[in-house]
Amino acid sequence: MENSKINSKKPEYFLLRPEVEKAYGYSYAVKIDRDIKISGAVSMDDEGNPSAVGDFLQQLKNCYTDLRKILNHYGCSFDDVVKENVFTTDMPLFLEHAEYRTQIYRNHFPTGSWLGVKELALPGLLIEIELEVYKI
C-alpha cells in the first residue's frame, strides 16, 4: 500500500521562460508532493539575455522577482522557503546588499549557503539564487 502511495506522486514541472529553458536544457521548477525545487534564478530578460549588467542590487531584485513568480504559480510565498542557496561572483558586493533579503523574508530566514564562485552561466551575471520549498 505504501509503495502505491509513493508512486502516485508525479512531478509537476514549471517553465517560466519556456523557450529559454528548453534552449539551455532545464526546468525552472519541479514540484513533487509538497516539495518544490527551484533552479537558480538569474537576472535575465525574456530572451535569455543578462539584464542589469554591472548593477548588483538590481540583479538581486530581479532574481527575487522571478522567484516570487514561481512561488506564486505554486500558491506559495517566501514564508514557505526552507532552503536558499546564493551563488555570487562578488561576495563583498553580496554582503553589502544582503540586507535586502529582510524585505523578502519577513517572518524567518531559510537555511542555505552563500557561495563565492568564479563565474555563472552567462557573462555579466553576478548572482544566482536557488530555492527549496515545502508547501504546507
Kindly report whether the global pTM for this prediction surpasses the value 0.75: yes
Domain boundaries, the chain: 2-134
Q: Tell me the average pLDDT of the chain.
A: 94
Strand partners, 29: 14, 38
Can you tell me the distance from the alpha carbon of 21 to that of 110, in angstroms, rounded to the nearest whole number?
A: 26
CATH of span 2-134: 3.30.1330.40
All residues at 6 or more sequence positions from 73 whose CB lies less than 8 Å from its CB, including other chains: 14, 29
**pLDDT exceeds 80 at position 3:** no
**pLDDT exceeds 90 at position 82:** yes
Q: Left (φ > 0), alpha (ψ -120 to 50) or beta: where does 76 sit?
A: beta
Q: What is the pLDDT of residue 9?
A: 86
